[in-house]
Amino acid sequence: MLNIGVLGSGNGSNFQAIVDAAKRGEFEGRVCCAVSDVADAYILERASKAGIPGRHIDCGPSKSKAEGVGAEKIVEYMRGCDVDFVVLAGFMRIVKDPLLSEFSGRMINIHPSLLPAFPGLASWKQALEYGVKVAGCTVHYVDAGMDTGPIVLQRCIPVIDDDTPESLHARIQKAEHVAYPEALNLISSGRVEVAGRKVRIVKD
Ligand code: GRF
């Protein structure tokens, strides 16, 4: 049974998908808190509506990293909520110590591209501009890099000729809302083995 803490900076649609999937029993776990580095992020409102503790934690002056005192505060709060597994859902900072080391091997992220293609921001736009025919999302463990950790699973969607950045992003997000609970199901049922960069899914 995973006790999941979710970290996000924005809308929180993946947070919602995970909360809903947990309620439907799609994986063995529950969401015990949401943390945001953005005070008015909608993810916190979603948490309050779902009756899940939510907290804004100021992560300091660097807008791109969660490090130092900010990272420490997140660790403290997550410990207080008995979190044993962290899910990044639209968290717009690179995770540094002590948060990274505290949850090393116990923290995953979702990225809106088929990594290693198009890491970083607005990946759906990068994909469209590049002219790829297949896009998708990637669930991966979090390491010290940006969107570089071992890949748990990927889901593909076709790019269609008339796609706009908005339409492609919306379809990728739909895929994300299925992929994240799927990954949590694999992890919570003990079927995920990580060896270096390789993640092996053990059969039922
Ligand atoms: C998702 O597209 C995710 O891939 C990326 O940030 C977005 C977060 O969306 N890392 P939401 O806040 O879950 O709606």
Residue 101 domain boundaries = 2-201
Do the Cβ atoms of 35 and 116 come closer than 8 Å?
no
Q: Which of 111, 140, 169, 177 is catalytic?
A: 111
Query: Per the structure, how many domains does the chain have?
Result: 1
> Is the C-beta atom of 11 inside 6 A of ligand 1?
yes
Please report the pLDDT score of residue 143 as a whole number: 97
Q: What count of other Cβ atoms lies within 10 Å of the Cβ of residue 190?
A: 9
pLDDT band at 197 (very low <50, low <70, confident <90, very high): very high
pLDDT value at residue 186 = 98
Per-residue pLDDT, 60: 82
Q: Could you read off the pLDDT of 39-57 as tens digits, one per residue? A: 999 999 999 999 999 999 9
State yes or no: pLDDT of 204 exceeds 80.
no
CA of 79 to the centre of ligand 1 (A): 24
Q: Is 56 a catalytic residue?
A: no
Which pLDDT band, with edges at 50, 70 and 90, does 105 fall under? Answer: very high
For residue 181 the two structure tokens come to 């609970």
Mean pLDDT of the chain: 97
Residue 62's pLDDT band (cuts 50, 70, 90): confident
Pocket test for ligand 1, best of 173, 174, 177 (most atoms within 8 A of CB): 173
**Atom number in ligand 1 closest to CA 15:** 13
SS (HEC) of 59-103: CCCCCCEECHHHHHHHHHHHHHCCCCEEEECCCCCEECCCHHHHC
pLDDT of residue 63: 85
Q: What is the CATH number of the domain that holds 163?
A: 3.40.50.170
Instruction: Summarize pLDDT for 2-43 with one digit per residue, the tens.
Output: 999 999 999 999 999 999 999 999 999 999 999 999 999 999
Number of Cβ within a 10 Å radius of residue 200: 10
- The whole-angstrom separation of Cα 35 and Cα 91 is 9
Establish whether residue 149 lines the binding site of ligand 1, counting it when its CB lies within 6 angstroms of any ligand atom: no
Q: Which run of H or of E encompasses 18? A: helix 13-23
Residues 164-193 have a mean pLDDT of 98
What are the C-alpha distances in Å from 201 to residues 34, 48, 186, 190, 191? Answer: 28, 34, 8, 9, 6
Query: Is the predicted pLDDT of residue 183 greater than 90, yes or no?
Result: yes
